[in-house]
Amino acid sequence: MPMDIRLGDVVRLRKQHPCGGYEWEVVRLGADIGIKCQTCGRRLLLPRRKFEKSVKKLVR
């Protein structure tokens, strides 16, 4: 079931970023999901399927 994700949502991932952060903001939607680390500001692009598997929970 596809996840209902919107721009500006903050998600908590299962895996910790090397900077120590867990929370990411959704900055791009499409076949790939763009997320930005809330701790260090680094951006990542993940295929939607991988993104959905990586998300632990939706923070807002």
Region from 5-13, 22-30, 32-40, 44-52 binding Zn ion, contact rule CB under 5 A? 32-40
Q: Does 36 sit near Zn ion (CB under 5 A)?
A: no
Residue 29 beta carbon to Zn ion: minimum distance, rounded to whole angstroms:
20
Q: Does 13 sit near Zn ion (CB under 5 A)?
A: no
Among 12, 39, 48, 52, indicate the residue that binds Zn ion (CB under 5 A): 39
What is the rounded CA–CA span in Å between residue 52 and residue 55?
5
Q: What stretches of 1-60 adopt beta strand conformation (E)?
A: 10-13, 23-28, 32-37, 43-47, 55-58
- Going by the DSSP 8-state scheme, the letter that residue 31 receives in this structure is S
